[in-house]
Amino acid sequence: MTAQSVDERRLREVALTPGEYRAIVEELKRAPNEVELGMLGVLWSEHCSYKSSKALLRRLPSAGAAVIQGPGENAGAVNIGEGWAAVFKIESHNHPSAIEPYQGAATGVGGIIRDVIAMGARPIALLDSLRFGPQPASSHHVEGVVAGIGGYGNCIGIPTVGGEVYFEDCYANNPLVNAMCVGLVRVERLMRARAEGTGNSLMLVGADTGRDGIHGASFASLELDETSSERRPAVQVGNPFLEKCLLEACMDLAHTDAVVAIQDLGAAGLTSSVAECAGRVDGAGAHIDVARVPRRERGMTPYHVMLSESQERMLVVVERGREAEVEAIFQAWDLTSAVIGHVTDDGHLTVVDGAEKVARLPISLLTDGAPPRRLVGVAAEQPPGLDMNALPPLVDAGAALLRLLASPNLSSRRGIFRRYDHMVGDATVIPPGGDAAMLRVKGTRLGLAVTTDCNSRYCHLDPHLGAQLAVAEAARNIIATGAHPLAVTDCLNFANPDRPEVYWEMEETIAGLAHACRAFELPIVSGNVSLYNDSSGESAIYPTPVVGMVGLIDDYGKRLSAGLRGEGDFVLLIGSSQNDLGGSEYLKVEHGLVAGRPPALDLARERAVDRLVLAAAENGLLQSAHDCAEGGMLVALAECCLLGGIGVRCPAIRPEVPLRMDAAFFGESPSRFIVSLSSRAMPELQSLARRHHVEISLLGLAGGDSIQFEGQFRLPLAEIRQAWEGALT
């Protein structure tokens, strides 16, 4: 077979271009056989090779004092003190979820959990960042995805403590499902998936291998079109029960020092897990006998076995001669384990089927060989501008508030998160519903705050700024609990990067992320890229860089939540407000507009505000704190009241020119919080604010069972709650 003679159709099937094929032949100095072609196809897919995004991702900062493990392993890890490391990562499962929402989302959760387990960590929390088309047309997606996430997380017994849900037209055919998992491990027990030690055994543990998901990784690297449903056998069915047993068995491995490394099997199955594991060690290779792989079905070929994406499997590198110890641990959990090969020092992945040779490829060709794709970015058309003078003035702030709270992007998420077990583990000290959730580290006073954030409408209107705003919002969500932001994981969801305007969005987004993370001194320790989120090239998604963030508080007894606490407390707005209506929910809900520029972000001011709130929290001045985000000041204030079950009495708002009334109530200026405190704490807060050069303004006094702005409106809390909770149930 020569480069010319290979069937074009076959190349498409394995998602390789003729150019890539030529590169393979050149490197091997021969044509690859069928199995080799399949193996290279999956590993060179965008999903595994990052060939379109690698160059850009290098710009993201990943170093920091607390970082123990940056990108490159199954998950990132940061030191949180007292001997503990927090391990976390976010990952997309968009394409499978578009085809089969329940199983797609469920197996997405299963996959990200295995990444954390592979680091030797016990998973302690899950988050899910979701994007759907408008309701009710998207309800099939919403129902399936939410049920799938709950189905997996609830069964395996890891609390799902946070996430986000947004509805926009652009996600109608391309729903996004990004799942994040956070785990804990003693620093000295942190594992790395490196196939060290020639002669050590490779054991495959967990589920038997079936024919599921062959070419799943390539599938995730294509646009969805009419034929997608024919590729549906790529959809896999998760088994959370089996993964629970796998999790416990892997935790039990800590009792033996016979284990050198653990690597999960994800996209591209055995091929990628073995290649990646060997690829992390200079000169290492692996020898695999597919005949030894336990199978679920009869009639599977070596091709199937090497490419299967059967879920709930792990590769364990075991010191030679100690396989029985490891087998016993898995056996105790009724799990199959099989020695399927060993580590070599020839830098090649050799696959045999009993006595028969099946494939032999250089590890470096598999993991690093894909020629980077050089794409060009061209700035997208400027989105429609916003003529503020043409906007009709705000007539009835109260009525607008009710409409905003009842809109799908702002309404209560309780209808969703009550379907997730968010309490198992006895560690959730801040449950979902406010800003970040918080988990205590048992046996210490440490609290880990976790959140995911991204306003993709901002990113659509200005990707560079939008990405920065996502980082800033995530940080504010962490800070609103009293915790310090520590590190970031990111899931970059884009449309087809072959389109210059999409590639430009990628460039801008990544530049914006990098810029903001540098300003916040936040390392990005793990992440994931999902491309081709456009169905048949028509409906491209907004650039959606989901920021997952972890923060730390040294004593969770000092944590803050969003709800007002006591009658008579002062309710303050920290930070200042501009005419920031561009890209706002107010514009969309009240005026049907997606227009303008997102709010400007002054990173220095943002940091000053953050420092003030953290200092105030540290000194015990605050009763509550809440981030002011979508929907602006009034929506945030209403949330503080609803979450605390206490109303608020405020004097009329009379914004000073040039601030408009609508922007004062509903503008989305960043760098703002709503806090409450007792009157006694006021002087100290005022002096802190002066010291940090941050503007603070008194909004009103907590109390009563309504929200009122003297002479402007008064709404009973019960009515507000009905609007807020009625929308998403």
Partner 1 sequence: MIARVIVTPKPVVNDPQGITVKQGLATLGFREVSDVRVGKYIEVNLEAETEHEARSRVEAMCKQLLANHVIEDYRFEIDMDGHKRR
Partner 2 sequence: MRSIWTVTSADEWPDPGGPCIFAAWAAGPLVKFGVVVFPGTWSDRDCGWVIDQVLGAELQYLWHKDADLKGCDCVILPGGFAYGDYLRTGAIARFAPVMEKIADFADRGGLVWGICNGFQVLCEAGLLPGALIRNSSLEFRCQWTNLVVERTDLPYTSQCGEREVIRVPISHGEGNYFADPATLSRLEQRGQVVFRYCDAGGRVTNSANPNGSMHNIAGIVNARGNVLGMMPHPERCAEVELGGTDGLKLFRSVAESAMKVLVS
Ligand X SMILES: Nc1ncnc2c1ncn2[C@@H]1O[C@H](COP(=O)(O)OP(=O)(O)O)[C@@H](O)[C@H]1O
Give the interface with Mg ion as residue ranges (CB under 5 A).
453
Q: Cα separation of 100 and 390, whole Å?
A: 44
Site for ligand X in 112-151 (CB under 6 A): 128, 130
Catalytic residues: 47, 93
Q: Cα separation of 623 and 677, whole Å?
A: 5
Q: Which residues, in sequence order, are CB contacts of 294 under 8 Å at separation 6+?
A: 204, 208, 209, 336, 338
Q: Cα separation of 203 and 194, whole Å?
A: 14
For 335, 399, 463, 700, 714, the CA distances from 719, given in Å and listed in that order, are 54, 11, 37, 20, 11
List 16, 80, 165, 549, residue binding ligand X (CB under 6 A): 165
Nearer CB in complex with partner 1: 160/310:
310
Residue 715: beta bridge partners?
A: 707
Q: Cα separation of 642 and 563, whole Å?
A: 7
Tell the smallest beta-carbon distance from residue 369 to partner 2 (Å): 40
For 341, 511, 512, the CA distances from 515, given in Å and listed in that order, are 45, 6, 5
* Among 598, 412, 402, 608, CA closest to 512: 598
Longest dimension (CA), the chain: 87
Nearer CB in complex with partner 2: 426/602:
426
List 47, 51, 93, 211, residue binding partner 1 (CB under 8 A): 211
Residue 206: beta bridge partners?
A: 313, 336
Q: Which does 163 bind (CB under 5 to 8 A by kind): ligand X, partner 1, partner 2, none?
A: ligand X
List 9, 29, 298, 374, residue binding partner 1 (CB under 8 A): 298
Binding letters toward ligand X, positions 407-426, x by CB under 6 A: ------x--xx--x------
- Residue 103 binds to partner 1 (criterion: CB under 8 A): yes
- The angle that helices 323-332 and 240-252 make with each other, rounded to 10 degrees, is 140
Q: Which does 297 bind (CB under 5 to 8 A by kind): Mg ion, partner 2, partner 1, none?
A: partner 1
Span interacting with ligand X, options 30-38, 307-315, 491-499, 623-631, rule CB under 6 A: 623-631
- Residue 426 binds to partner 2 (criterion: CB under 8 A): yes
Binding letters toward ligand X, positions 462-491, x by CB under 6 A: ---------------x--------------
Give the length of the chain.
729
Binding letters toward partner 2, positions 437-456, x by CB under 8 A: ---x-x--------------
- Residue 238 binds to partner 1 (criterion: CB under 8 A): yes
Nearer CB in complex with ligand X: 235/547:
547
Q: Within 13 Å, how many C-alpha atoms sit on residue 376's CB side?
A: 1
Site for partner 2 in 532-561 (CB under 8 A): 556-557
Q: Which does 548 bind (CB under 5 to 8 A by kind): Mg ion, ligand X, partner 2, none?
A: none
Q: Which does 627 bind (CB under 5 to 8 A by kind): Mg ion, partner 1, ligand X, none?
A: ligand X
Tell the smallest beta-carbon distance from residue 397 to ligand X (Å): 20
Q: Which does 611 bind (CB under 5 to 8 A by kind): Mg ion, partner 2, ligand X, none?
A: none
- Residue 251 binds to partner 2 (criterion: CB under 8 A): no
* Among 595, 547, 539, CA closest to 173: 539
- Residue 432 binds to ligand X (criterion: CB under 6 A): yes
- Residue 143 binds to partner 1 (criterion: CB under 8 A): no
Tell the smallest beta-carbon distance from residue 424 to partner 2 (Å): 6
List 64, 153, 279, 433, residue binding ligand X (CB under 6 A): 433
Q: Cα separation of 138 and 166, whole Å?
A: 11
Distance of CA 699 to the CA centre of its chain: 35
Site for ligand X in 55-84 (CB under 6 A): none
Q: Cα separation of 376 and 378, whole Å?
A: 7
Secondary structure (H, E, C), 2-50: CCCCCCHHHHHHCCCCHHHHHHHHHHHCCCCCHHHHHHHHHHCCHHHHC
Angle at alpha carbon of residue 540, lines to 407 and 507, rounded to 5°: 105
Q: Can you give the binding site for partner 2, defined by CB under 8 A? A: 150-151, 154-157, 239-242, 244-245, 333-334, 417-426, 428-429, 431, 440, 442, 556-557
Q: Can you give the binding site for ligand X, defined by CB under 6 A? A: 128, 130, 160, 162-165, 413, 416-417, 420, 432-435, 437, 453, 477, 627, 629-630
Q: Can you give the binding site for partner 1, defined by CB under 8 A? A: 99-100, 103, 207, 210-212, 229, 232-233, 235-239, 241-242, 296-299, 310-311, 334
